[in-house]
Amino acid sequence: MRLTELTIHNFRSHGDLTVSLSARTIVRGQNAYGKSSIGEAIIWCLYGTDVEGTSKQDDRLMRRGASEMEVTLECIKDDGQSVRITRSRDKGQVLQVGGKRQGAQQKVEAWFGTLPEFLTMFTPGYFSALEPKSARTVLARCLPILSKEDVIRRLQPDHREILSTHRYPMVDGVESLDFILEKTRREIRSCEDEQVRLEGEIRGLESVLTQDPPIAPTPLITRARQSEKDRLQAIVDAKAIDAATKEAQIAALRIQRASLRTAFEACKAQWQTVEANCAACGQSLQPDRMQTLRDTAEVKNTALRQQMDELIAQGNAVKAKLERLQHTTTTTDKPDALTQATLAQFSLDEQKDRRATAEYEAKREVRKQAQSRVKETKQALALEAARVEELKTRLQALEEYRFEYIRMQHEALHERFTHVRIDLVDANRETGEVRSVFRILWKGRPYRTLSQSEKIRCDVEIGRVMAAAREETMPVFVDNAESVQHLFGEAFSGQVIAAYVDKCELRIESLDNVRASA
């Protein structure tokens, strides 16, 4: 692409200016006479930004006192087609290509590249000021997408086998590889967390097994005491009570029985069951998750079972009392105080026996479950440990792949340059760590140590390589060209516009005409 004519209206210091642009154009003039504005006008016409690529700068770029501005470029494409590009600003920006607004910006970017790409080729110094991430984006066109097979051939044999077996879909270069690496790291962290959980579960189960086995409780109500209780109860039942007392006791027993039934139903409502499928999504639960839920439910249900058994026993006792009371006759005789106290003690001892038995059974059940569960948990832990080792080995293979991919990519990039070397990452083969950097070298020297002349030569070479990657010739605007001796002896992609400080008013001419007149 070559620019042949530039027409400016109310841009920066220029009111109305039309200049012809040759393949080698020289712009001369004193400072503040509008030399740099020539390059800025070209950028604004194509992309609507200032020289640094910043948008919404129209008020600053417009000539002081003006209310509208316009820049037109006449261009010739590499295939010989002529193109006119016009950007105007009145109430808002309007871009036209060949007099048409529709799709104008897309056409400009198709011919000249994205804004960062164009500024890299057109304005020496732009690329070297970019952040590493932005610089890599600009160079993406120059960085080849390598085939997975070519990279794998450079790896260690065991890593080659791993990546060939798993067939990761590394279709977008380093970006897709970074996604796969992070996914693998997350899998490792998840497995390690599961290992910690299983180890804690094993410690808890083993602590149960190291305790002494539960001992069956000695009952307080022996056969002899049970016989004595039954004898005394028969004596008490044989004694009649008065009608009022009888009705009151029956009412109290019925209330007590209803209360026990309510308490039993409350316990029953808390009973936990474990379904094979998730209640929310309906999917089948994993076996280890099912077992965990069952263990949790069993612990709670054991306590509930103990309470329910005790409530049933109390209910049966109340029922028996109610039936006996309903079949007694009324009289004024009452059992003596000693008999009542003895029966009360019997009832208290029966409750203690039921509680002791329930606690004993619960401990036996917990120990039984611990014995079966500890073996299963140790097997699951061994599987998780093996999975972690497998994933870590796979991660090492992926990290080596990433290292080789980047190294091969940069080798291909540096083959395009003559004196320039650009490092966008530092890769450590031993650790697999890849760190983003932005390092430009010219003839082996860091960019920041170069003179102004050397920096321009370095930037011109970068722009030329970018243009070659696009397979297009591109114009270059070199400001302060007086700092570079023999500037036109450099290798350019295409057209060169060089601005020199000179003791004259603004003058634009072709290098060929200057040489002819000389």
Are the C-beta atoms of residues 470 and 112 closer than 8 Å to each other? no
pLDDT at 315 over 80: yes
Domain residue ranges of the chain, discontinuous segments joined by +: 2-130+453-517, 211-371
Looking up tokens 């038995």 gives 357
pLDDT single digits (tens) 472-516: 899 999 998 998 988 888 888 889 999 999 988 899 998 877 655
Which value, to the nearest 10 degrees, does the dihedral of the CA atoms of residues 284, 286, 289, 293 take? 30
Which value, to the nearest 10 degrees, does the dihedral of the CA atoms of residues 491, 493, 494, 499 take? -60
Closest CA to 159 of 389, 430, 395: 395
Rounded Cα–Cα distance for residues 178 and 172 (Å):
10
- The alpha carbon dihedral of 176, 178, 181, 185 has a sign of negative
Which value, to the nearest 10 degrees, does the dihedral of the CA atoms of residues 347, 353, 356, 359 take? -90
18-22, 139-143, 301-305, 415-419: the lowest-pLDDT one: 139-143
Cβ neighbours around 481 below 10 Å, total? 22
Residue type (1 letter), 160: R
Strand-pair category, 496-501 with 24-29: parallel
Looking at the DSSP bridge assignments, the partners of residue 28 are 500, 507
Q: Which residues contact 375 (CB under 8 A, 6 or more apart)?
A: none
Instruction: Tell me which CATH homologous superfamily contains domain 2-130+453-517.
Output: P-loop containing nucleotide triphosphate hydrolases (3.40.50.300)
Rounded Cα–Cα distance for residues 24 and 490 (Å):
12
pLDDT single digits (tens) 183-194: 899 999 999 999
Rounded Cα–Cα distance for residues 498 and 515 (Å):
15
Specify which of 107-111, 224-228, 251-255 reaches the highest per-range mean pLDDT: 107-111
SS (H, E, C) 137-194: HHHCCCCCCCCHHHHHCCCCHHHHHHHHHHCCCCCCCHHHHHHHHHHHHHHHHHHHHH
3-class DSSP assignment, residue 450:
coil
Q: How many helices and strands in the chain, by DSSP H and E?
A: 14, 12
What phi and psi values does residue 468 have, to the nearest 5 degrees? -65, -35
72-81, 96-105, 200-209: the lowest-pLDDT one: 200-209
Closest CA to 160 of 405, 432, 398, 389: 398
Rounded Cα–Cα distance for residues 404 and 432 (Å):
10
The pLDDT of 65-93, averaged and rounded, is: 93
pLDDT at 148 over 70: yes
Are the C-beta atoms of residues 269 and 262 closer than 8 Å to each other? no
Are the C-beta atoms of residues 26 and 510 closer than 8 Å to each other? yes
Rounded Cα–Cα distance for residues 198 and 201 (Å):
5
29-38, 226-235, 437-446: the lowest-pLDDT one: 226-235
Cβ neighbours around 72 below 10 Å, total? 18
- How confident is the model at residue 495, as a pLDDT? 93
pLDDT at 121 over 90: yes
Looking at the DSSP bridge assignments, the partners of residue 436 are 425
3-class DSSP assignment, residue 331:
coil
- How confident is the model at residue 518, as a pLDDT? 45
